[in-house]
Amino acid sequence: MIFKKLETSPKGKVCKAMEGLLAEGKDLMAEDADPSVLDAGLIAAAQRVEHYEMAGYGCVRTYARLLGYELAADLLQETLDEEGAADKHLTQLAETVINVEAVAPEVDA
């Protein structure tokens, strides 16, 4: 919608940093680890992705505001808020369940 309003089309490049973050998560999934420890690691990997996305959306939102594109800035802020909510949800999962189980994984009897 933003590009349509600006009467332009999006162009992009492959983001090597994001590729690296995703590769780390994929590598982690191949580890032979206790499932609760693996879950904790995957949440951490997902949060790194969320933080990277938030940094990008925050920067481009600021650029839009500085250039006077308030509608675009508002839409980007909505997306930034959604990413922040996802990060908070991951934090809640980690703090209340996942990391607790990872610290003291179940021992097979």
pLDDT of residue 108: 53
Q: What is the pLDDT of residue 105?
A: 59
- Integer distance in angstroms from the first to the last C-alpha of the chain? 56
Identify whether 5 is part of a domain: no
Reported confidence tier of residue 80, pLDDT bands at 50, 70, 90: very high
pLDDT tens-digit profile of 15-32?
999 999 999 999 999 999
C-alpha 68 chain-centroid distance? 27
Confidence (pTM) = 0.82
Nearest-10 crossing angle of helices 16-29, 35-66: 170
> What per-residue confidence (pLDDT) applies to 109?
46
3: in domain: no
Domain that holds residue 75: 22-27+35-102
SS3 content of the chain, % helix, strand, coil (to 5): 75, 0, 25
Residue 109: inside a domain: no
The CB density around residue 43, as the number of other CB atoms within 10 Å, is 19
Q: What is the dihedral of CA 20, 47, 14, 67, to 10 degrees?
A: -140
| Contacts with 8 (C-beta within 8 Å, 6 or more apart), sequence order | none
Q: Is residue 7 part of a domain?
A: no
Q: Confirm whether 49 is domain-assigned.
A: yes
Number of domains in the chain: 1
Q: Which of 82, 101, 105 is nearest to 43 (CA)?
A: 101
Do the domain assignments include residue 17?
A: no
Residue 67 falls inside a structural domain: yes
> What does the pLDDT look like over 32-70, one tens digit per residue?
988 888 988 999 999 999 999 999 999 999 999 999 999
In a domain? residue 107? no
- Whether the CB-CB separation of 21 and 49 falls below 8 Å is answered with yes
